[in-house]
Structure 1
Amino acid sequence: MKKFNKSNNLVSRFTHKFFLTIVIPIIVLWGSYLFILNLHFINNTLSIQQTHLLNSLSTLKLSMANADYVFSSLENIPEITYYLDIYSLKSKMLYSLKKTIRSQCNSLRNSNISIDSLRIYSSKPELLYADPFYPLSDLPLNENEEEQLITSIPTDTLWYIVSTSPNSIFHLYAYKKLYAYNYEHVIGYMELGIRPEVLTSYFSQFENNTLLPNAHFAVYQDNQLLYSRSDAALLPSPEQITSLPDNTVTTDYLSGKYIHKATIPDLNLQIVLTGRLIDLPSQSNNLLPVINVLITCPLFFLLFYFFLDTRDLSRQIMDFSNYIRNSDPADLTLYQVTSQKYRQQYDELLHLICSYNDLFKENSTLISKVQKMEFLNQDAMYQALQAQIHPHFIYGTLENIRMLALQNRDKMVADMIYSLSALIRESVSISTKYVTLEDELNLAQHYLKIQKHRFGNRLNYSFQIEESLYSLKLPSFILQPILENSIIYGVSNTFHDCTLSVSAFPEKELTYIVISNTGKTISPERLAEVNNLLNGNGQLSEFQSKHNGCALYNIKERLNILYRKQARIFMTLEENSTQTTIVVRKESIYVPNINR
């Protein structure tokens, strides 16, 4: 007997499926929800920071706008124009410088906290060079930058950056041409220096960013790192920054990094803020722990409830299974259901137990019938052995009568006795459930010889059999009852000559055996009743009560048993004859021809 595997019982399988179909999907869906929620929070945080970064550019733009204001104010101070273009005496220059120009320049510088220095460069040789006036040779620009300043239009403000190292704040300078009143010629070049504190204050809000902890701040210009206090290995390359779109945030979930980029076209600066997504603060929601508890607790409660329920069902199934396994096959009893042992009853299991008890009752009945049949079979075997004594006595008696008829020169009686003896001998000698068509034809010939002596010239018979069909298997005694019916209902009820014919022929996969008689034909009503019975649509009891005969029904049943319902028998009414047809499938067993 197969050993019971506890790891494959109902409880373990249900628990396994419960986790696979309920617990794990809910956890996966809940985790997916939290993941999507976190992605949304990350994108929202980065979007807010990008907006803040772009809005913060207004600080630098305000400083740049102040530079334009200072340039415009310097252009409107007439003493500066006189100093550079009209005065030729240094005494007048000195007086104007000390009396007006310096005080006005200091006033402009003090009124704009973003301005650190103010200078005016000139190429006039006789000019008194003193702060804020400097010779053009002191202009801190290279040749290309100086050429760009000289060729600029009057309204252009040019910005230049001076950086000593990437780890220190760079210096920002603005330059603009200074024209005479009528804009006929350039009288000088103005320079404004932006206070480093402005850039330091602006950069510190990103270097000490609480919204994006562990973020790295950097400033790039012309594909070069201009300023950053972070390690260069942690920063994106200048080429990567150049390839990114302006004023956007780029998120790379594969590498787990983000990059903010803001551009100042006038300065050709790219302000970058980068970091790892994992360092972003997670969403602070006090409801998440509560939601987790509300989801987890019912899950475990359901799991515990279903565990108890299935454990009770498993116990009932195991008790029933152990009862069947441990029962003695020779002493089976009904299974009694004890409802007090279990939490509840299950209709499916009760149905299974009731089916087992019903099967046990039917099995007990069948065992009783089998025992009774064994007893009857033993009795039948005894009767069969007893009956074997009688045929020898009958054969001897018939042979004595035949010899007596021959002594009296009565050959007809002797032939009848011989046919009767042969008919009885062959019928008694048949012990198998089927015979060949050749055996059936021999019995039919002996029977018809006897009937020929009875009816004389009124009865004629013939056989048309293909020799290949002699080995066809048939139930025993199927032709003789049909021929007997033909004699009783056809020949006996008429004074005209009658012909009985037996023919057998193959057609495709079937073999046809046709018995025809030209005696009195069957009535259409009787024909319908017989065929209705043979087709299985009528009741044998009703058929017997009316006509007291069931030979054809018996033949039909034996044909169905032998050929597994692949045979049939029916009657037809022709113009001058009644035909009985048997249809079976061909047999391939070869039987030698007999000497007829």
Structure 2
Amino acid sequence: MSSRLTVINFLTNLAFSKDYIANIIVEPLGSKDPISHKSLVRSEFRNITEEIPDYYEHHPKWWSFVHRQWTFEGMRKVITLARPIRSTDKYKPIGNLQINLDQGVIANQFRQAVLEKTGFVLLLDENNRIIAGPPDMETNLTLADYYPSIEEFEGLSGNMDYGEGGNKKTILYKKMSSVNWKLVGIIPSEEYRSQNQYFIKLTAVAVTVAILLAIILVLFLIQKITNPLSVLTKFLKNSSPEEPLPALPVKTIDEVGQLIISYNRLSSRIVKLTDEVKLNESLKKEADMHALQVQINPHFLYNTLSSIHWLALMNQDVKIAEMVGSLSDFLRFSLNNGQEYCTIQQEIMHVRHYVNIQTIRYPEKFSFEVHVEETLHQHTMLKLLLQPLVENSMLHGILSRDGMGTITIQGRHGSEGIHFVVEDDGIGMTPDRLKWLQDQLVENPLQYEKGQTPGGSYGLRNVHKRLLLHYGKDAGLRVDSTEGAGTRVMFTIPDLTDIQQTEISSKGDDDLEGTDR
């Protein structure tokens, strides 16, 4: 008796834990009465398993169709799950267990599942009989009773269309392999299509948003990586060979940051090496100049030329004497112990000595004229500016033309300083040659080296460079030329103060007097 109560208590706890369980019955084999959590089963109890031959031998479990079963609440529609109870020692059937599920509770769950506006869900057994569905559809009737000529359900899941026109419906199904039942959804095709369109639109919007977010993220990452590289590239493109590479700020420590750090180190190294090269070149030039000055003994050179001068006079060779005398004066002024400035009068005399020598070499080839305001004679200027320009006019303008030519030096005082013009009536320059020369004077004149300039413009570039170094960026040469008519070279220097003129002039005179023969 105690074991029977134990079973009843267990069944009671199990039944009350689930609202969809109508009752649980244990039916022993033989003549013993069934056991239920509702005490003894009344005589109206229906043994559902009697309808299936050889049940215990061939079915480990079985689901019934919807039928009526007595409970203490009265006759209820139930769905029975039955399975045999076997002994633990010999595994022989000793009874069966029946769990009756309340069809009404299950049907209410399915009625709450609504597809769109008028769609609904059905639960079918293996024979397509209705287990649960809308209230207007009777249980145990097949789906074909409501939808004649409906196609068979193929596969584990799928969909099909039923009907035509406005009554056309879309039927969705999925088979439950554990119980061989089917979940079936029936929805008007128009509502189904609108639902599909909604999901398609929703999916399209979601995909579009995802793509936009991905693009934004990619652009952000690309910008984060490429911006520093773009800045670095811009600095490198805009950098000038004559200027040091600017240092860039390091904002990150990733690969790009390491690249910028390496770039800054390289920039610092280049600046250091450039300074070292400039210093070495300067020291080398100073050493070469010092060595040249040591090798040239001005007094020995002047005395030798003076001796040649007097020997020529003794032999009554006036032209040789005049040529040697002019050469001696020319060298005396050029060397002049490294003095950089002189008076305008001294500069003109230096040019005359050069012209005298060239007149003897090229007789009746050119004439030389000087038109410099007398008030400017004692003003100071950087020496060796006019002679290279006169030499350039002679070699590249006058000597290449037919007949006599004229070289003229003009000097006048203006509001911006002292203006000089060296003009010739030689062959002039072609427009292309003139443009090239003007570009050469503008582009990096201070970086000019002798070996870089073809066509004999070294004298012009050297004068141009010295003017810029001593008088500033506005004091360079200006060249104008007409092919077949001649060339004009112009420059302007500032008018130095009287104190500067006196100091430089005095020092220049002392240097010249100290080198007398």
TM-score w.r.t. the length of structure 1 is 0.36
Higher normalized helix content (fraction of residues): 1
Higher normalized strand content (fraction of residues): 2
Greater radius of gyration (CA): 1
TM-score w.r.t. the length of structure 2 is 0.41
